[in-house]
Structure 1
Amino acid sequence: MLAVLIAFSAGCSRVATRIPASVEPQLTRDPAVIEGVLDNGLTYLIMKNSEPKGRVSMHLAIKAGSMYETEAQRGAAHFLEHMLFNGSENFPPGELIKYFQRIGMMFGGDANAHTGFYETVYDVVLPTGDEKSLAEGLLVMRDYAGGALLLEAEVERERGVILAEKRDRDSESYRQFVRSLAFELPGMRINERHPIGVEETIKAADSKLLRAYYDTWYRPDNMALVVVGDMDPNTVADLINARFASLSARAPEGEIPDTGTFAHVGNKAFYSHNPEAGSTRVALEVLRYVERQPDTYAARRQQLLFNMVSQLLENRLTEGVGKPETPYTDGGAGAGTYLRNVRYGIVSAECPPDAWEESLRIVDHTLRSALVYGFTASEVTRVKKEIKNGLLQEEQKASTRNSRQLASMLIRGFTEEKSVVSPSDARQLFEPVVDAVTAEELHQVLKEVWRPSHRLVMVEGNVRLGGDDAAAVAAILSAYDISRQVAAAPRKEQDAADFPYLPAPETPGEIASRVTHDKLGLTVVTFENGVVLNLKQTDFKAKEVLYSLRFGKGLSAAEGLVPGLPALSEMVANESGLGRLDREETGRAMAGTNTSSAFRLGQDGFALSGRTTPEELELMFQVLHTRLRDTQLKEDAYRLAVQRYTQGLEEMGRTVDGVLQQKGEAFLTGDRDRFGYPDASLPGINFDAVKRLVMSPLTGATLELSVAGDMEEDEVIALCARWLGSLPARTPQAASGHKLVFPSGKRLELSVESAIDKAVVTVAWPTTGMTDIHKVRRLSILGSLFSERLRETVREKLGAAYSPRAWNNSSRAYPEHGVLRAIITVNPEQVSEVVAAVNEIAEGLRAAPPSEDEIRRVVDPLVNRITDFRRTNGYWLSSVMQDSSRYPEKLVWPLDMLEDFRAVTAGEVHELAKTYLVEPNVATITVVPSS
C-alpha cells in the first residue's frame, strides 16, 4: 500500500551530486510571491493571478495535523477542523455556511478544509477580489485562527457527523492500507495517528480536549495565510496586518513528537486478503529511514533522477501488458522520499489472483535486469523527451495557471518548508540536468535507490493463499526465492516507431459555408463532404487546445447491445494504439508530444476527444486522420480489456457503492443493456461484437469536429480542410426512438456480503429531458435546494451522514428522461429513518415554496460557479459546440444562461417540486451489508 501514501510526500532528501557545494545552483523563490511575517510570527504569502477572473483563493495553513496529537487526542485535529465551522466569535453556530452561501460561495466547493498528518488547511474561494470581499474572507480566517467557540452542545452534535465520515471512509481497502503501513513502517508514530482518529476518542471528545489541541498548535508562529487571485496584493497585506496583528499564542509552544524510526533487515513478506478487491497486487519495495533534509537544488536534482529511473522501469513493466505472455494488467514504479523520513523504491503489478507468482517473477526480473545491465539509449531518450516537455509546458502555461492550484503549491511550500520556484526558473535549473544525464548515471541512481540489502515482498488483494498467515508468508518468500535463482537477462534495443505513416491527402476539401456567431465568439465551417468544424479561439489557458470529433448517434441508436459491451468496447479502442501501431509503439512514437486522443462511447454520440497545443495542431489532425482511415482494433487489447473489466466487476460487486453502481442505473432507466453490467463471464460479448459496435460509426457516420483554445482559427480551418475535408462524404445515421422507463413507485433492495458496517440509499423521482432548457435549469436549482436540505436535516440534525447529496440529471439522448435523486451513505440501522427523512424533505418542498434567502443561497453560488466554468475551454467544447449541428439550440443556450439562473424564483421551484416530487412516482434503492 506504499503507493497510496506517496501522495503525502513532504520533501526530498539530499543525496550525492557531482556539482561541488560551492557552485551548486540555488533555489530562488518565485518573485511573483509576496512573503511577509507579522511581529507575532504569522506568515503570509500573496500572489496576484487572474484565473479565474475576479476570484480569490484564500487559505489558512497550520503546521500541525494528526501526528502532533497526544495519545488521548487521537482524532482531535480532524474533530477540531469540523468544529471551526460550528461557531466562532463572529459566526454563531449554524451561521457560517449560510454566510458563505449568501456571499456567493458554495460549501464544499468554495469553502472547505482538510486535516493531514502534518498540516491542517482551511479553504475559502471568494467570489470577488474587492476590499470588502477580502475583509469578509479574512474575518472568517481570523475566527479560524483564534476565535473558535468550541461549545459543548456543538461538539456533541458534530460527533455524529464525524462518526458518519469515519464510516464513509471505512472499507476493506482502507483496513488493508492500515495493515500494510504497519508492516512497512514498524515503530513509526504515523501508524498510531491516522487523521480520521479512533472511535474511542471521537465518542469521548469534549470541548476541553479540543481546546487543548487548538491552543497548543493554532498559534500565529505556526500558521500562514495564503492568498492568490485577482486582487491587489498591497490591499491584502494591509488587511492581514490590521486583522491578525493582535493574534497571540494562547498556550506554550507544543513539543513536536518524535516520529519514530525503523530498519528492515533481510527479505520479508506481507500478505493481506482483501475481499473487496477485484485484483491482486504484487510489489517489491525497499524502505529506509532517513533524517529530514532541507530543500536544496541537490535534493530536487536527485528526485528528478529518481523520477526518470522510475519512469524507465514503469515503461518496461507496462510495455508487454495485454500480450499473451504477460499475466498482469498493469505495472508501476516509484522512488523518492515521503512522509519526511522514508526513502522508498517500489516496483509493482496488478494481476488476477491465480497469476501472482508469475507476475512477481516478471516484476523481479524486470528490476534485476535494470540493476545488472542498466538502460538502453532509446528508452533513456524517450524519458528525456517526456521530462523536458513537462518542464517546457509548465513554463509556457504559467501565465494562465489556476489560483487554487497556485495556492496549493504555496501551502505545500509553507507546510513542507520548500521553496516555491517559478516554472521558468525550474526549467532553467533542471533542463540541463536532463540533457546531461547519461544512461550510465541513471543506472547508478537506480542502484542507489535499491542499494538496501532487504526486500519487502508484498502480495495483497483478492488472492487467497492457503493456511494461516505464516504459511502465506512462507509461500510468498518461496516464490521470490525461486524467481531469484534465475539470472536476469539484458534488454534488447528497440526499433523506433514512426508516426505519421499515412500519406497526407493531396487535395484539401472545399468549404461549403462559414458562419460566425459574434455573440458567442465562435465560427462554424461546413465542408463540401459534410464535415462540420466548430471553432472558438480563447485565452483562458495558455497553450491549451481541446477537441472532440463526434460521429454517430451513440448508444441510444446502437443495435445488438448487451450489458457491458459499450464499456468493454471503449476500453479495447483505447488500448489498441494508433492505427497499425500498438499501444507501446504509440507511446514511443508520441513521446515528448502533448497530443492525446481517447475514444468515447456516449448515449447520444461517439467521439474521439483529447487535447493538444498550438504547435501540434497538425499532429492532432494526423492522429484523427489515422484513427478514421486506419483504426485497427487489436486482439491483445481485447484480451487486456476483458481482464481489466472483469477485475472491475469483481471489485464492484463487493461494496455497497459498487453494487449501487452495478444495479442502480439499470433500475432507474429500465434498460440493462445500455446501463447495466454483466456477470463475470461477459455473456454475449466477444471481439467481433466489439468490432461491430466501434467500426461502423467510426468509418461511416458523419463527422463534426469542435475545437476550443489557444489557436488561430484560419490555421485550424486549413488543416481541417486538408486532413478531414478531403475524406469521402459519409451518411448520417438514423436517429433513435428508444425510450427509457422510470420505475415509479418501485423499490429495489440489494445486499452485499461485507464486514463493513455501512449502507447506501438512493431515493429518486422522474423529471424530464433537455427539451426545455428553462425548465431544466430550474430543476437543477431544485436539486441543489434538495441537497442543501439534506445537509441541514440528515447531516446536521440527525448526524446520520457525512456527505448526503442530491441533483437532477436531464438526458439529451432520451428527451423524455430525467431523474432527480438523493444518495446517502448511512449506518444500516438508520436506513428506514433516512429514507423517511428524504421523503419528508420532498413533502416539505411540495408543501410550501422556499424562502427567498434559501433560493439565493443556492442560486448565487451556482451562478458564480457557472461564471467560472464559462471561462474554460471544456465548457465551450462540451456544453456549447459539441453536437451543435444536431442540436442547434446549444448555440442559443449560453446567451441567457446567467440571466436565466439569476431570475429563478421560489415560486418556480415550488411548482416543479409539486409537479415532479410526487409521492406515487418515488423509487427507492437500498444496498445493505449481509454480514
Structure 2
Amino acid sequence: MNINFRLKSLVILVFTSCALFAQTPEKQVGDLPLDPAVRTGKLPNGFTYYIRHNEEPKNRVIFYLANKVGSVLENEDQRGLAHFMEHMNFNGTKHFPHNELVNYLQKEGVRFGADINAYTSFDETVYQLPLPSDDPEVLKNGIEIMRDWAQEATLDPVEIDKERGVVLEEKRLGKGSAERMRRQFWPQLLNNSRYSVRIPIGLDTVLDNFKRPTIASFYHDWYRPDLQALIIVGDVNVDQIEQIVKAKFSDLKNPQQERVRTKYSIELTGRNQFMEVTDKEMASTTAEIIIKHKTGPVTTEAEYREAIVKELFNSMMRARYGELSRQADPPFIQGGTGIEDFLGGLDMFDASVVAKPNELEVGLKSVWREVERVKRFGFTATELERVKESYFNNLEYMLRAKGKTNSQAYVSEYLNNFLKNEAAPGIDVEYKMVKAMLPTITLADMNKLVETYVRNDNKDILILGQDKDKATLPSETTVNEWLKAVDAEDLKPYSDDVSSKPLLINNPVPGKITKEEKNSELNITTITLSNGIKVLLKPTDFKNDEIMFSAFSAGGTSLYSDADFRSAANAGGMIHSFGAGNYNTTELDKYLSGKQLGVQPFISERTQGITGVSIPKNLEIAFQLLYAYLTEPRKDEIQFNNIIKRTKAGLANRGNNPNIVFRDSIAAIMSGYDIRHMPPTVAMVDQIDLNKICSIYKERFADASGMTFIFVGNIDTVTIKPLLEKYIASLPSTNSHQQAKDLAIHTPKGRIEKTIYKGSEPRATVELYFTGDLDSSAQVKYQLDALKEVLEIRLLERLREDESGVYSPSAYASTDKYPTPHYTFGVGFGCAPQNVDKLIASALDEIAKLKTEGPPVVNIDKYKAEKQRTHEINIKTNDWWFGYLNDQLQDNNPLNQVNDYKANMANITQESLKETAQKYLSGKNYIKLVLMPENKN
C-alpha cells in the first residue's frame, strides 16, 4: 500500500438494485471508441466493469477495483481516513475477517505488498489483486474479495486500533526535508485549493484519535457502486466472468441520501507567485518555474493530436538540454523543461534547474535561455522529423508486440478510462490515427503550443535551498530581473548539426564460425568463433520484437591498483558517454533517434563486457555500435571535464542527506573500510584521469578471446550468424585469458554495532546483517532464499500486525561464489526511535525461533506456493533467461540446473530451514547498524 504522489524538484504531482442486465457506459459525442477487445458495461446501480481476455501471462488474471474516492472527499475530522480505509480493507471483510485475507492469499502464492496492493491519492483509491486463473476456486474467491472490498469491510475497532501504528509508521517513512519544505510551499502552489489541505496521509491528530463511526461514515458515503469499477484482465473466459460480475455486484447499494461527489479543481487566479523555502538537510539549490494551464482528458481525435504535439515538444526540448548538459563547463547539475500533468484539472509548463553551488543565476538563466530561443525561433524541420520518426517507431513496436502485451498494460489503460475519462481506443486505432496525424503536425503547431503554455500569468517561481544559504538566495525581483535579462539577449537560432558519416571508422574483417553445438533440452545453441569467443543463442517467442544480449570476460577493476581504481571503475561509463566510432555523443543520439536499441559497455570489479537490447530490425546497427564501443572508443576531453565538474558539484552537500550518510556508512563498514568502498569525495574524483581511463578501457577489451556472448529473444538463428562472423568474430584476440584477482575485501568478522546520528525527524532505520562463508551449491541458495521469505512473513505478522511498530519490514539474502563463496543475510525496517531496541529484540527473537524450532510449516507452504507461481511466469520471460544464463556462466555452473528446480524446492522442509538458520544465522558474524536522529538525547 502506498500513497500515490511523487516529487519533481519537491513539487508534488499526482498521478495521479438486483437487476442482472448491464448498460453500456454513456458515450459522449466526439469521443474516441473504447477498444473493442474489452467487454465493458454499467449495471443499473452505476457499477462499471471492464473484462478482457489476455494470455500474457498464461493462467493468470489481474483484478483491480477502482474507486473515484480519495482524500479530497474527507471531512475535516476524516483527514487521512481515505488512506486508512484502504488499509482496513486488508484487515477484515465479510468473508475474510481480521487478517484472514492476507493469510489466504499467501497460501495461494500471492505476496502481500509485492502482488496484492493498493494506493490512495487525492481523487482515487485503487486495489490490485493478481491471481492464478487455472484454479476455479481461487478465481471465485478473487471475485469474492473484490466484492468485499467494494462494500463489505468490517471495520473492527480492535483492528482499527492495531492499524493506527502501521499507518503512522508509513507516514514516518515520508518525513524529511522534502516533506518539511512541501508543507510550506504546497498551499500557495495550489492556490489554497481543497488539494492543499487534503494530503492523503492525513493528520496525526485524526489518525491517533478517530473512532469507528467517523471512518464508517466515510466508507458508507463514498464506497458505492456509482463511483466504482471492476477491471479484470487475464486468461479467463469473458462470457463466464461477465455473468459472475453481474450476479455479484448488481446488489451493491448506493446510499439513500447520496452525497454529491464534487469534482474539485484548482482555480487559476491569473496572478504570479514567488516562493522561497530552505531546509538544513536540502542537498542542493533548485529553482522551478511553473506555469499552470487548464486541461482536460483526452477523449477526441483533436485532443489526441494535441497530446502528440506535447510529447514531440517535450522530446525536442529534452534533446536540446541534453546537448547543453554536455558542454565543457556545464551550466547546471540538471536542467530541463517540459509540459506535464499537474493536479486538479491543470497541467503545467515546467522549467527546473538543480544548480551548481553558488551558481543559481547561471543555471536558471541557461534553462530559461533555451525557452526563449524556442519562443523566438521555434524548432528546426530536422528536429521535428527526427522525433516524429521516433514516436511512430515506438508505436509500431507496440503494434508488433500485440498478442504479447502484459495484462498490466491493459489494466492501466482502463483505469485511466474510468478514473480520468481518458480515451482507450486500443493499439490498432491509435496506430491508424498516429499514422494519419503525424504528417499533419508542423512547426507552426509547435509555435502555437509554446504561445499557449509559456505565458506570463499563473506563473509560480519556487526556490529551494539550504538554511545556510538563506541570506544569499535571490528575491522575487532578482529572479525576474534574471529572466528579463535573458529575454533581452541577442540569441542565435539553434543549429541542428547532423553527421552524415558512417558509424564505424573501419569496416570489420569478418571471422568464421568454427564450431556449433545444440542443447535441444534447453533450446540453446553454443557457437565458437575463430577468435575464441563463445556465443550462446537462446531463441524464444515470449516477445514478438525483443533481443537481449550481453558479453563478459574476466578481469575488471580487480587488476588495477587502488591509485588507479577510480579511473578503472569509471572507464565503462565515461567511454560510453563519449560516443563511439565516428560519432560524438550528440551525433550518436541523433543517429540513433527512431531506432530501438541500446548498447552499454561496463567494467565491474571482476569482469568487463557489454550489454544491450534491440529489435530484430535494428540488430545490425546494434552490432555495429557494439563493435564501435569495443574497437573504436572515443576520447573526449570536453565531455570528461563536464562529467567531472558536475560530479563534484553533486558531492558538495552529499552529507546533508541522512539516508545517503547511512548508506555510505553501511558500504564502508561492510567492506571493512576498504578504500574502494568508501563514500565518494572530491579528492576521489580528482583521482580520475582521462588518459588512464582510455588506456584501461583499451586494455580490458584488447583480448576478446575469453569473452562469452549471450543472446536471448526473438532470434533468427540463420540470419544472425553472418552478423556474428562480421562483428564479433572480428574482435581482437590475443589469447591472454587474464583472470580476476582476489582483492581480499571481506565483510569483517565478529559482532559489530554502530549507531549513526543524522537528521532531525523522529525516525530511525535499522539494518541487521548476518554474514560468512558459504557452501556455494545451488541447494544452499534455495534454502537461504526460503529462509528469508519465511522470516519476512513472520516479521510482517509480528512487527507490523501484532506490534504495529513498522510499515514494511524486509528480509533479504545474497550470495557470491567469487572471489570466495560468501553470503549476506539481512533484516531491515524503519520505525520510531524509541522503538528501535524493542523491535530489534522482536526480530532477533523470530530468528532465534528459526534456529530452535524452524519456521511454521504453513509459512513454508506459503513460500512454495508463491515461488511456484512466480517461477511459472518468470521462466516464460526473456528477462529471466537472460539473467539466469549470465549468472550460471559467470559462476561456472551447469546450465541445466534449471531442471533441478522441483527437486530443490522439495528439499525445503522445516528441518532443512532450521539447520540452515543454525548454520548461517548463528550470530557469530553479526552487524547491527542503526540510523537515529541527531536530537535523540
TM range (shorter): over 0.9
1:255 paired to 2:257: no
Aligned partner (choices 140, 163, 170) of residue 168 of structure 2: 163
Alignment of 1:189-208 (within 5 A): 189-208=194-213
Aligned partner (choices 61, 64, 67) of residue 62 of structure 1: 67
1:332-381 CA deviation, whole Å, 9 max, x = no partner?
22215532511311222333132210111111211111111111122112
Contact 1:311 1:333 in 2 (8 A): no
Q: Which runs of 5+ in 1 are unaligned?
A: 11-23
Give the equivalent residue in structure 1 for 2:715. Answer: 711
Tell me, what secondary structure is at the counterpart of 1:203?
helix
Instruction: Letter of the 1:677 partner, please give it.
Output: P
Contact 1:556 1:813 in 2 (8 A): no
Give the equivalent residue in structure 1 for 2:3. Answer: none
Give the equivalent residue in structure 1 for 2:118. Answer: 113
**CA apart distance, 1:493:** 3.9
- Residues in 1 aligned to 2:368 and 2:901: alpha-carbon distance in whole angstroms: 57
1:606 paired to 2:612: no
Aligned partner (choices 842, 857, 866) of residue 847 of structure 2: 842
Aligned partner (choices 374, 388, 400) of residue 392 of structure 2: 388
- Residues in 2 aligned to 1:767 and 1:54: alpha-carbon distance in whole angstroms: 40
Alignment of 1:252-401 (within 5 A): 252-257=257-262, 259-265=264-270, 267-289=272-294, 292=296, 295-401=299-405
Give the equivalent residue in structure 1 for 2:893. Answer: 889
Alignment of 1:559-598 (within 5 A): 559-560=561-562, 568-598=570-600
Contact 2:546 2:615 in 1 (8 A): yes
1:431 paired to 2:439: no
Q: Which runs of 5+ in 2 are unaligned?
A: 1-6, 17-28
Give the equivalent residue in structure 1 for 2:14. Answer: 8
1:664-716 CA deviation, whole Å, 9 max, x = no partner?
13322336344332224326333344335433213335322111111212222
- Residues in 2 aligned to 1:648 and 1:870: alpha-carbon distance in whole angstroms: 41
Contact 1:806 1:822 in 2 (8 A): yes
Aligned partner (choices 687, 690, 704) of residue 684 of structure 1: 687
Alignment of 1:380-529 (within 5 A): 380-453=384-457, 455-462=459-466, 465-467=469-471, 472-496=475-499, 498-506=501-509, 508-529=510-531
Give the equivalent residue in structure 2 for 1:16. Answer: none
**CA apart distance, 1:92:** 2.1
Give the equivalent residue in structure 2 for 1:627. Answer: 629
Contact 1:187 1:262 in 2 (8 A): no
**CA apart distance, 1:76:** 0.5
1:828-867 CA deviation, whole Å, 9 max, x = no partner?
2222222222221211111112222111112211221222
The verdict on how the C-alpha distance between 1:917 and 1:814 changes in structure 2, with shifts beyond 3 A counting, is same
Give the equivalent residue in structure 2 for 1:813. Answer: 818
The verdict on how the C-alpha distance between 1:454 and 1:857 changes in structure 2, with shifts beyond 3 A counting, is closer
The verdict on how the C-alpha distance between 1:534 and 1:648 changes in structure 2, with shifts beyond 3 A counting, is farther
Contact 2:607 2:740 in 1 (8 A): no
Contact 1:329 1:640 in 2 (8 A): no
**CA apart distance, 1:191:** 1.1
**CA apart distance, 1:400:** 0.9
**CA apart distance, 1:622:** 0.4
1:542-571 CA deviation, whole Å, 9 max, x = no partner?
211111122333345554367866664444
The verdict on how the C-alpha distance between 1:672 and 1:249 changes in structure 2, with shifts beyond 3 A counting, is farther
Tell me, what secondary structure is at the counterpart of 1:235?
helix
Contact 1:87 1:94 in 2 (8 A): yes
Instruction: Letter of the 1:432 partner, please give it.
Output: A
Aligned partner (choices 239, 244, 249) of residue 244 of structure 1: 249
- Residues in 1 aligned to 2:849 and 2:117: alpha-carbon distance in whole angstroms: 28
Aligned partner (choices 745, 752, 773) of residue 750 of structure 2: 745
1:588-623 CA deviation, whole Å, 9 max, x = no partner?
111100011123343442232121101111111101
Give the equivalent residue in structure 1 for 2:726. Answer: 722
Give the equivalent residue in structure 2 for 1:21. Answer: none
Tell me, what secondary structure is at the counterpart of 1:494?
coil
- Residues in 1 aligned to 2:564 and 2:826: alpha-carbon distance in whole angstroms: 26
Larger displacement relative to structure 2 (179-188 or 459-468): 459-468
- Residues in 1 aligned to 2:470 and 2:433: alpha-carbon distance in whole angstroms: 53
Contact 2:799 2:842 in 1 (8 A): yes
- Residues in 2 aligned to 1:233 and 1:524: alpha-carbon distance in whole angstroms: 43
Give the equivalent residue in structure 2 for 1:823. Answer: 828
- Residues in 1 aligned to 2:462 and 2:549: alpha-carbon distance in whole angstroms: 42
- Residues in 1 aligned to 2:931 and 2:900: alpha-carbon distance in whole angstroms: 41
Contact 2:751 2:924 in 1 (8 A): no
The verdict on how the C-alpha distance between 1:30 and 1:392 changes in structure 2, with shifts beyond 3 A counting, is same
**CA apart distance, 1:640:** 3.7
- Residues in 2 aligned to 1:311 and 1:274: alpha-carbon distance in whole angstroms: 33
The verdict on how the C-alpha distance between 1:91 and 1:71 changes in structure 2, with shifts beyond 3 A counting, is same
- Residues in 1 aligned to 2:468 and 2:326: alpha-carbon distance in whole angstroms: 24
The verdict on how the C-alpha distance between 1:139 and 1:902 changes in structure 2, with shifts beyond 3 A counting, is farther
Contact 1:563 1:677 in 2 (8 A): no
1:250-271 CA deviation, whole Å, 9 max, x = no partner?
5533323462544354654332
- Residues in 1 aligned to 2:458 and 2:41: alpha-carbon distance in whole angstroms: 46
Instruction: Letter of the 1:248 partner, please give it.
Output: K
The verdict on how the C-alpha distance between 1:333 and 1:499 changes in structure 2, with shifts beyond 3 A counting, is farther
Aligned partner (choices 543, 552, 555) of residue 553 of structure 1: 555
Tell me, what secondary structure is at the counterpart of 1:399?
coil
The verdict on how the C-alpha distance between 1:2 and 1:286 changes in structure 2, with shifts beyond 3 A counting, is farther
Give the equivalent residue in structure 1 for 2:95. Answer: 90
The verdict on how the C-alpha distance between 1:481 and 1:709 changes in structure 2, with shifts beyond 3 A counting, is same
- Residues in 2 aligned to 1:409 and 1:258: alpha-carbon distance in whole angstroms: 21
- Residues in 2 aligned to 1:870 and 1:286: alpha-carbon distance in whole angstroms: 48
Tell me, what secondary structure is at the counterpart of 1:504?
coil
The verdict on how the C-alpha distance between 1:251 and 1:563 changes in structure 2, with shifts beyond 3 A counting, is farther
Alignment of 1:864-875 (within 5 A): 864-875=869-880
Seq. identity, %: 24
The verdict on how the C-alpha distance between 1:667 and 1:155 changes in structure 2, with shifts beyond 3 A counting, is same
1:658 paired to 2:660: yes
Contact 1:806 1:823 in 2 (8 A): yes
Contact 2:298 2:423 in 1 (8 A): no
Tell me, what secondary structure is at the counterpart of 1:681?
helix
1:65-91 CA deviation, whole Å, 9 max, x = no partner?
112112211111100101111111111
Give the equivalent residue in structure 1 for 2:22. Answer: none
Contact 2:332 2:646 in 1 (8 A): no
- Residues in 1 aligned to 2:688 and 2:721: alpha-carbon distance in whole angstroms: 40
1:164-203 CA deviation, whole Å, 9 max, x = no partner?
0001122212333444443322122111111111211111
Tell me, what secondary structure is at the counterpart of 1:319?
helix
1:510-537 CA deviation, whole Å, 9 max, x = no partner?
2222111112111111112111111111
Contact 2:329 2:641 in 1 (8 A): no
Contact 1:334 1:345 in 2 (8 A): yes
Give the equivalent residue in structure 2 for 1:911. Answer: 915
Tell me, what secondary structure is at the counterpart of 1:925?
strand
**CA apart distance, 1:653:** 3.2
The verdict on how the C-alpha distance between 1:258 and 1:724 changes in structure 2, with shifts beyond 3 A counting, is closer
**CA apart distance, 1:125:** 0.7
Instruction: Letter of the 1:125 partner, please give it.
Output: P
Tell me, what secondary structure is at the counterpart of 1:385?
helix
Tell me, what secondary structure is at the counterpart of 2:742?
coil
Instruction: Letter of the 1:856 partner, please give it.
Output: D
Contact 2:672 2:746 in 1 (8 A): yes
Instruction: Letter of the 1:485 partner, please give it.
Output: A
Superposition CA RMSD, Å: 2.6
